[in-house]
Structure 1
Amino acid sequence: MSLITIFRWLKKLLHYDNKEEEQRPREEDEDCTSILADAASQQFSFPRKFSYDEIQAATSKFVRKHNPGNGKVAYFEGRLRSSGKRVVVKKVEASRRLSKEDFMEEVTKMSSIQHRNLVELQGFCLLRSSFFLVYSDYMYSRTPLDKLLFGNSDDALRWTSRLQIVVDVAKGLACLHSNNVLHLDLKSENVHLDSNFRAKISDFGFSSLAAEKTTMTVRGTPGYMAPEWLQMRVSEKTDVYSFGILVLEVVSGKKTIHYEKQMLRHLGTWAFQVAHRGRLFEMVDTKILPEVSSHSRQMKNLLKIGLWCIQADARIRPSMSSAVKMLEEGRSIIDPPLPPLPREDASIDMDFSLSVVMEMMQHRQDYGKKSSFFRK
């Protein structure tokens, strides 16, 4: 094989994922002009509208993926040529479930939400077949919470930092809910920390629900998903469940799906089992055990808040505004209800959240192909 042939083969291999983007025709949707005009007439503020050429140039033709992404959503690192600012571009394929009107409605709502604990939306681009959201460099230059909690670094997060992260996330989520927006995929990967360990939530949007209603679009990450997903009914309390799991991750340093005594466990079920034994401090990450004596009340309160948030009955869970109040007041939290213990001889933790995963793996092709969370 000649060197020229090898070069062409390598070039084709390296750019295979970007072929669709490079060959995409210039199909910027002119209809969005009328949508923007309607929004302006209603005095809505809008982030900047980018052209497809700007998005393509910023991402070097969609070469640098920010993370693997999945399905019809992908993320790309970029730098705006006009300003030199780093950004992360989220690409969403258009579908019957996400129309142009839906996209613009979400952009309108997201642009009106500004909070210190939410990653800022910089702009958007609208095509007939794809939508793009441009976020600030916070997603690019900051550290995701999961890397600090579950990475191999010996530099453990101190307790005060962990508590502040939880408070920041709670406030950001409460802000979304006060604007009738659900996140529906809150997890440690979507929490980004600065050098002072202050947190911002990313990847929200496309979930504006003024009240509880039926949805036919499954979102979320296995282990963080509330049991009501089985009935395809979501509300603010669905986010509260995910927040509760996040709280337990922060305190315990354990992943939501992990191995415990050679058995696959779900963090929620494990936490309830420990609570049944009346030994809450067994949940505390061994890396911060020396700090228990100084912060025992805060740790106990935070664990109880986490357990309140992951109640199977959504009606029992607190609202995010109530969770913020509990976190800030620092008063002793009453003991949460504890569900019946699962069978001790179970070979796998068939917690209600894992049941959701099994249901999706059996009936939904997109999720059925992704079982990596079962690997040790």
Structure 2
Amino acid sequence: MGTNYSKPTTSINDASNLRNRVPFESFRVPFVDLQEATNNFDDKFLIGVGIFGKVYRGVLRDGTKVALKRRKPESPQGFEEFRTEIEILSHCSHPHLVSLIGYCDERNEMILIYDYMENGNLSKRLYGSDLCLPTMSWEQRLEICIGAARGLHYLHNSAVIHRDVKSTNILLDENFVAKITDFGISKTMPEFDQTHLSTMVQGSIGYIDPEYFIRRQLTKKSDVYSFGVVLFEVLCARPAISRSHMISLAEWAVETQKMGQLEQIVDPTIVAKIRPESLRMFGETAVKCLASSSENRPSMGDVLWKLEYALHLQEPIIQDNPE
């Protein structure tokens, strides 16, 4: 992690001078270099906006393409989220997690620096502003889901609960490889045999595990529930919540699956190209992720296996129609 001009450090600070509170080493990038990389944070380089702040694309002096997440002053998220992101990505490294290059904490700034993902986030590719681009095939979508599941499975094996799994937090690189991002509100299980964390509810509307919402007990299965919503987003090319009617995709998809009518809500651009056995396996897996009780949900490892099998069931179509 880091660039060829980054300086190693053992602390970060914020406006309250919280230096020496972060027990890990990372890399600090000078603010002036980030100004240069983004033409002083020109809006022409803006690629996204979230709760933490604005995200810009840029190019560092050594030619590295980066995405910069810069905290906005009014953000409800602050130093704790900034520190958590750096801590987790300093200790967790996986092909399906976004790579943190460094950070900047000068001039009361909080800026996180990541590898740039050429194809943006999954949400935009499914039903957002990138719809002018070619439609992703069913095989591509399955590969993306499998990649994201591998990333989450790795996190869970590392005792990390993401806590905000959603399609906007799954990024796609130039080869459409899925990368999990945004770890600001993630939680680490301090004890090896710990089953849950009692904590205030955080997450995104439409993705929050209802059991976690009621009991205030966060588990790995809370991530599984959220991922189940993502699976139906991928299948249907619809958002988790319909803003016009406030309809929950999770509830609607589960009811449709129970009635045996899942094919009726599949993205019409791919429905004719999905092998029935693959659709059945995928739909059953997504519904199990959305079980009301966490005990009835599969582990992320089980979800990963079922998704890989759904892709295997699609392979005869790939062989018959290689184009």
Structure 1 residue 214 corresponds to structure 2 residue 193: no
Secondary structure at the counterpart of residue 123 of structure 1: strand
Deviation at 1:35, TM superposition (A): 5.7
Correspondence for 1:66: 47
Deviation at 1:157, TM superposition (A): 1.7
Secondary structure at the counterpart of residue 76 of structure 1: strand
Structure 1 residue 278 corresponds to structure 2 residue 257: no
Aligned pairs for 1:1-376 within 5 A: 32=19, 34=20, 39=24, 46-64=25-43, 65-70=46-51, 72-80=52-60, 82-92=61-71, 99=79, 103-104=82-83, 106-126=85-105, 129-138=108-117, 141-151=118-128, 152-153=131-132, 155-210=134-189, 211=194, 212-216=196-200, 218-227=201-210, 228-258=212-242, 264-292=246-274, 295-330=275-310
> 8 Å contact 1:67–1:75 — kept in the other structure?
yes
> Structure 1 pair 314/105, CA: closer, same or farther in 2 (3 Å)?
same
Compute the RMSD of aligned alpha carbons.
3.2
TM-score, reference length from structure 1: 0.67
- Amino acid in the other structure paired with 2:296: I
Return the structure number with greater helix share: 1
> 8 Å contact 1:252–1:283 — kept in the other structure?
yes
2:178 & 2:14 partners in 1: Cα distance?
37
> Structure 1 pair 331/104, CA: closer, same or farther in 2 (3 Å)?
closer
* Higher mean displacement: 122-131 or 195-204: 122-131
- Amino acid in the other structure paired with 1:117: H
> Structure 1 pair 316/134, CA: closer, same or farther in 2 (3 Å)?
same
> Structure 1 pair 230/93, CA: closer, same or farther in 2 (3 Å)?
farther
> 8 Å contact 2:171–2:181 — kept in the other structure?
yes
> 8 Å contact 1:29–1:128 — kept in the other structure?
no
The structure that has the greater radius of gyration is 1
Secondary structure at the counterpart of residue 102 of structure 2: strand
Secondary structure at the counterpart of residue 187 of structure 2: coil
Gaps in structure 1 of 5+ consecutive residues:
1-25, 40-45, 333-376
Secondary structure at the counterpart of residue 301 of structure 2: helix
1:96 & 1:257 partners in 2: Cα distance?
23
Deviation at 1:195, TM superposition (A): 4.3
Q: Deviations over 1:96-136 (max 9, x none)?
A: 98656x75465233122121111110011235854321111
Q: How many residues align?
A: 289
> 8 Å contact 2:14–2:110 — kept in the other structure?
no
**Taking every aligned residue pair, what percent have the same amino acid on both sides?**
29
> 8 Å contact 1:103–1:206 — kept in the other structure?
no
Correspondence for 2:3: none
Deviation at 1:171, TM superposition (A): 0.5
- Amino acid in the other structure paired with 1:252: C
> Structure 1 pair 270/205, CA: closer, same or farther in 2 (3 Å)?
same
1:117 & 1:54 partners in 2: Cα distance?
28
Secondary structure at the counterpart of residue 160 of structure 2: coil
> 8 Å contact 1:309–1:318 — kept in the other structure?
yes
Q: Deviations over 1:71-97 (max 9, x none)?
A: x433233322x3132211223479998
> 8 Å contact 1:110–1:205 — kept in the other structure?
no
> 8 Å contact 1:93–1:129 — kept in the other structure?
no
> Structure 1 pair 288/314, CA: closer, same or farther in 2 (3 Å)?
same
> Structure 1 pair 279/57, CA: closer, same or farther in 2 (3 Å)?
same
Gaps in structure 2 of 5+ consecutive residues:
1-12, 313-323
